[in-house]
Amino acid sequence: MSLIVVRIGSAKDTSVLGQIQEAVSGELSPFSLEDITDWASVKKGYAQSTPRPNFSGAKDRAAVGVFTPKAAGLFIATGVALFLYFRYEKEKLHEKKLKEMEDKQLGKAHVGGPLSMTTHEGKIFTEKDLLGKWNLIYFGFTNCPDICPEELDKMSVAVTKLDKELGPIVQPIFISVDPARDSQEQIARYVSEFHPRMLGLTGDYAAVKAACKAYRVYFSTPPNTQPGDDYLVDHSIFFYLMDPDGQFVEAFSKASTVEDVAGRVKQEVAEWEQEHGRKV
């Protein structure tokens, strides 16, 4: 609460002056507006003693503030950094959930299941086509600006390295999560940029959704999109290693290196060979 003290009349007016002094000193004192007899003097004195605020200058300063070009750049950089950090944390959380989903009896995560897709060559592809070979499977979309190409490059380099050491026993697979734009022709051009044996799979929305559900992959497109629209698809950025029986073995995250992928595959192949007497 604020107290405004106004000097009224002459200092000889002891009744009003005394009440004001008591108020200033902290004492409570009844004060009636009826004690003020010269309102014209009060109004005139206030007008002469109160400086007029410069509202335009204050407004200009409020509008400009400290938002300089340098501050704007820092703001944008901070926003980008936060976006990347939270996306990374989202993937780590997803990876943690996958590990928590491990079956206590088999020691395997519940990843994988029925597939009904079409290859970039126009052939029908089901989960049975995964049998008899090791498979590395990545879900993404061809219009992805950075993450998908980076992960597919990593997967392709690892497969090339494994080809030289083990032979062509590992099949790289790309599954589109953007059926509205990723046609068979589009996917064919896309996978040719990575590995000569990379297989591209697509299908209608129902088939893609079922595949993503089976492999515990999340994907989300903006609502009301059209095939010609320019948009991004939010999706998981793991790729999975499946054994020759079509069973899940491992999920590789963005933090995994080529050496991590190749090393883990060689380890699994060696254990498989020891148990089954063959690499596949």
Residues annotated within a binding site = 144, 148, 235
User: Which residue type sits at 28?
Assistant: L
**Using CA atoms, how far apart are residues 37 and 14, in angstroms rounded to an integer?**
14
Determine the number of helices (DSSP H) and then strands (DSSP E) in the chain: 8, 9
Burial class (CB in 10 A: 0-12, 13-18, 19+), 191: buried
**Residue whose token pair is 């820092």:** 74
Question: Chain-centre distance of CA 52, in angstroms?
Answer: 51
For residues 11, 15, 21, 22, the Cα torsion angle rounded to the nearest 10 degrees is 180
Provide the H-helix boundaries in the chain.
14-24, 39-49, 55-64, 69-100, 147-166, 184-191, 205-214, 258-276
Cβ neighbors of 27 (< 8 A, separation 6 or more) are: none
Q: How far is CA 35 from CA 8, 15, 16, 38, 239, in A?
A: 10, 9, 7, 9, 86
- Binding-site positions for Cu cation read 144, 148, 235
